[in-house]
Amino acid sequence: MLEVEDGGTAVTTTLAHRASLDAAPHQRTRASVVHRFVGGFYLVMGGINAGIVAADPETYRTFADGAFWPFVTDAWRDVVMAHPVPWVLALAAGEVVLGVLLLRGGAAARAGWVGVIVFHVLLMSFGLGFWLWSVPALLVLVPAARSDWPALGAAPPAAVAQPVPPPASQVGTPRTVAELVSTCVLAGAVVVASLYGLLAETPYRSLPEATVVSARAQDACSIVVAALLVLLVLRPVTSTATQLARLGLLAYLLYSYLIYVTGVPMNRVFLVYVVIVSLSGAGLLGGLLRVHDHPPTSTASPRLTRTTGWVLVVTAVLFAGLWLSVLVPYALGGSAPEPAGVGGTPYPVFVLDLAVVLPAIAAVGVLLLRGRAVAGALATVAVLKILTLFTALWAGPVLAVATDADVHLGPDAVPSLLLLAASAWLTSRWLRSFPSLPAIPLHERSTP
């Protein structure tokens, strides 16, 4: 190459320069994947640490026994372990904040990188055992942060034109008579089952008092869900957002009453439970098949899509880890997990979550991250199901406080509260991302 004329050399230099420019975005992309993974990891660990301290505050008693400096051990024992719950919850909240900062990107992710690296450096003061984790982690985190740093401070890309919503004829679906009738029958069955649970003397016999309080709180929430379902199908033409909201509520009913069918002693409304499971399952399956065949368009931003994808994946991993932390020790010879199902049978939440729900939620998150057309609609159903479920679950402690009953919080209490807030925000954003129906003039309205 040195023997050719200067023009050839200039071409060679230009090509080499272009190759280096092409490599830079690839390196930044790889670093951005790392900061999202680290952000998701810190969200998971924050939830797990909060769950552990909520279940047994003494778990962290010996955490600083191997520290290099006596003042670290003394401060941990005399300050942190004197009141372990608020201190460890504050630590868990800090981990969650670092995770959120990294997932948010931009200048926030820079603060997240600094916090994560400082966290690992401070962790090394707790003893040699922590070096086995912190040193390899820092060997990954520091280069990744250096590679990601310039991109995080760069100006945001030029705004991309939002897709034009389709015309009104494409955003509404005629509601069939079968949907109206089946929804009314389903809502009636839910009201009957819920009123029985609220008014009967012993609808949930042989169950602990805390479980009975939670079940009755969920019955009250189910009546609200039944009313919402009827309202959603009253209009002869339903929007995409309405259809997806309906599927999310059906998913809540299917999950809740599968637990009633398998985890509650048989009572006089058992057949009503079966009807609810059948109708909600059929409605959900039919709706998901329609979404798969004709994915609705969404104006959701790439950031909302990525954030929701990671939230769903992290949620699935978090709760799978919580349940496995109870079940794996038992499989290896430990004590029986708590809670257990009726008569010592497996707790139905373990079965449904590990076999169906958590894999499905993780799959939807992966579809979002991979940009699949159907993913936005499925994510809307998933986050609405999470919102309604955790609203019902937290109604139990609220009812217990209102009635001066004992409040029992499991290891999933803090993660579920965080998810309740996150899913409410995500549900609102996703439902607004689908085109809505225009107002129908009176002279154009038709009766069902």
The predicted model gives 229-240 an average pLDDT of: 87
Omega within 30 of 0 (cis) for the link into 150: no
The predicted model gives 371-391 an average pLDDT of: 89
Residue 213: phi, psi to the nearest 5?
-60, -45
- Are the C-beta atoms of residues 265 and 342 closer than 8 Å to each other? yes
d(CA 126, CA 134): 11
- Quick one: what percent of the chain has pLDDT higher than 90? 22
In order, the DSSP letters of 219-278 are HHHHHHHHHHHHHHHSSSEEEHHHHHHHHHHHHHHHHHHHHHHHHS---TTHHHHHHHHH
* Interior/surface letters 173-197, b for 16+ CB within 10 angstroms, e for the rest: bebeeebeebbeebbebbbebbeeb
Per-residue pLDDT band for 9 (boundaries 50, 70, 90) equals very low
Query: Is a pLDDT exceeding 70 seen at residue 410?
Result: no
Nearest to 230 by CA among 194, 189, 260, 195: 189
- Rounded to the nearest integer, the mean pLDDT of the chain is 79
The residues near 123 (Cβ < 8 Å, ≥ 6 apart) are 130, 133, 134
Query: Is a pLDDT exceeding 50 seen at residue 447?
Result: no
The predicted model gives 23-43 an average pLDDT of: 64
Query: Is a pLDDT exceeding 50 seen at residue 20?
Result: no
Higher local confidence (pLDDT), 397 or 232: 232
Residue 174: phi, psi to the nearest 5?
-60, 135
d(CA 226, CA 186): 8
The residues near 30 (Cβ < 8 Å, ≥ 6 apart) are 147
d(CA 96, CA 19): 39
Query: Is a pLDDT exceeding 70 seen at residue 441?
Result: no
- Of 181-185, 272-276, 335-339, the range with the lowest mean pLDDT is 335-339
- Output the CA torsion sign for 43, 45, 47, 50: negative
Q: Of how many residues is the chain composed?
A: 448
Which residue shows structure tokens 């969920």? Answer: 218
The pLDDT, as a whole number, for residue 405 is 59
Give the single-character DSSP code of 440: P
The pLDDT, as a whole number, for residue 67 is 83
The predicted model gives 396-422 an average pLDDT of: 64
The pLDDT, as a whole number, for residue 22 is 43
d(CA 98, CA 113): 8
Query: Is a pLDDT exceeding 50 seen at residue 159?
Result: no
d(CA 120, CA 123): 5
3-state SS class at 350? helix
Give the C-alpha distances (Å, rounded to integers) separating 107 from 29, 112, 339.
16, 9, 44
- 297-342 pLDDT tens trace: 889 999 899 999 998 998 888 888 888 888 888 888 888 877 777 6
Query: Is a pLDDT exceeding 80 seen at residue 144?
Result: yes
- Are the C-beta atoms of residues 388 and 248 closer than 8 Å to each other? yes
The pLDDT, as a whole number, for residue 153 is 65
pTM of this structure: 0.63
The pLDDT, as a whole number, for residue 68 is 80
- Of 61-70, 240-249, 287-296, 436-445, the range with the lowest mean pLDDT is 436-445
- 75-131 pLDDT tens trace: 888 888 888 878 887 887 888 788 888 877 778 888 888 888 888 888 888 888 888
